[in-house]
Amino acid sequence: MTDTFYTVTPSGVAVAADLGDTVIALGSFDGVHAAHHALIGETLSLGRKLGVKTGVWCFSTLPANSLRKEKLPMLCSLDEKIELLLSLGLDFVAVGDFSQLCSYSPEDFIENVLKKELNCIGCACGFNHRFGKGGVGSPETLVRAFGEENTVIMPEFTLLSKTVSSTVIRELISAGDVSSAAVMLKRSYSLKGEVLQGKHLGRKLGFPTANQRFPDGIAVPKYGIYATLCTTADGKKHAAVSNIGIRPTIIDGSDTHAVNCETYIHDFNQNIYGEILTVEFCEYLREEKKFDSVESLRQQISRDLEGSLSYFERSGSLI
């Protein structure tokens, strides 16, 4: 049983039995968005009322992807998900192995995992949550197992006149609408990753840039230029402008068409190759285009930087 899931607490991986009785929120929690925040808020309240620890149950992969050929891109990595969830004040996140647990009926999952392993005495989930073999478990199944009093069913949650869901946020991001996505995520969509050795072409252009790749399986915003905020390894935030795409102006036969995120950081000239950089996508500025000359691309990049800075001035999101 122990290799079917593990439990993470703010101080590291823990033994589930040491948690005592618990209240658990169930879901996929992709992106840890505003509706998830509301659900976790209810979970914390129920935990306080019952005087027990609170946690989340999720899987290491998206169950929705197990039956799909065309995988849904994820809004965050598992590590980011755990970090975001714990930052909301939960005591633990239990991470299950979907391939081992997908054959459990809802009742078996509740009895053998939630109750026996995690000492669960109350739970919370979204109104449309489904779980267990064949997805036949529903919020009502949880009410039967834990009682009306100890089960929270979160109704639909609306922002910008839309239901907040990972699906809607994926659509916004792939349409480049990162500002609406940010309202639903309660933070900007971001890319956290190593700064890769580029071809140093940017430097020759007069714009030294930081190149990053989106990890496999992670949602890539619409190709284009974005006003971004960068957090460097020293924790400092900088205004920046980023290009997501394939750089049609400079691409040649030797180039793979791998998607690149290339960032020019305002007023910055440190060497950050190999460091971890977080890029927050704040506002879509324009489409990625093929320019007739490197010189016209250079002039455009300089206008892009102005566009980004004036966005941050208007929105007041710097400092």
Supply φ then ψ for residue 16, to 5 degrees.
Answer: -55, -40
CB of 232 to ligand RBF, least distance (A): 17
Nearest to 192 by CA among 141, 223, 229, 152: 229
SS3 for 215? coil
User: Which residue number is nearest to ligand RBF in terms of Cβ?
Assistant: 249
State which residue, 30 or 304, has the beta carbon closest to ligand RBF.
Answer: 304
State which residue, 138 or 260, has the beta carbon closest to ligand RBF.
Answer: 260
- Burial call 298-311: b when 16+ CB within 10 Å, e when fewer: eebbeebbebbbeb
Helix (H), strand (E) at residue 99: helix 98-101
CB of 245 to ligand RBF, least distance (A): 7
Q: Which residues bind ligand RBF (CB under 6 A)?
A: 198, 201-202, 205, 207, 209, 225, 241, 243, 247-250, 262, 264, 288-291, 297, 301, 304
Catalytically active residues are: 262
CA dist 48 to 43, 145, 260, Å?
A: 9, 20, 45
Helix (H), strand (E) at residue 224: strand 224-231
CB of 83 to ligand RBF, least distance (A): 28
CA dist 253 to 214, 248, 250, Å?
A: 22, 11, 10
State which residue, 280 or 304, has the beta carbon closest to ligand RBF.
Answer: 304
State which residue, 105 or 249, has the beta carbon closest to ligand RBF.
Answer: 249
State which residue, 109 or 264, has the beta carbon closest to ligand RBF.
Answer: 264
CB of 319 to ligand RBF, least distance (A): 22
Distance CA 210, CA 196 (A): 7
Pairing status of strand 120-126 against strand 151-154? parallel
Distance CA 83, CA 42 (A): 19
Pairing status of strand 237-245 against strand 53-59? unpaired
Whether 238 and 280 have beta carbons less than 8 Å apart is answered as no
Instruction: Specify the DSSP class assigned to residue 113.
Output: I
Distance CA 152, CA 19 (A): 21
CB of 169 to ligand RBF, least distance (A): 24
Helix (H), strand (E) at residue 154: strand 151-154
CB of 249 to ligand RBF, least distance (A): 3
CA dist 202 to 263, 298, 316, Å?
A: 10, 9, 29
CB of 269 to ligand RBF, least distance (A): 15
State which residue, 130 or 213, has the beta carbon closest to ligand RBF.
Answer: 213
State which residue, 9 or 212, has the beta carbon closest to ligand RBF.
Answer: 212
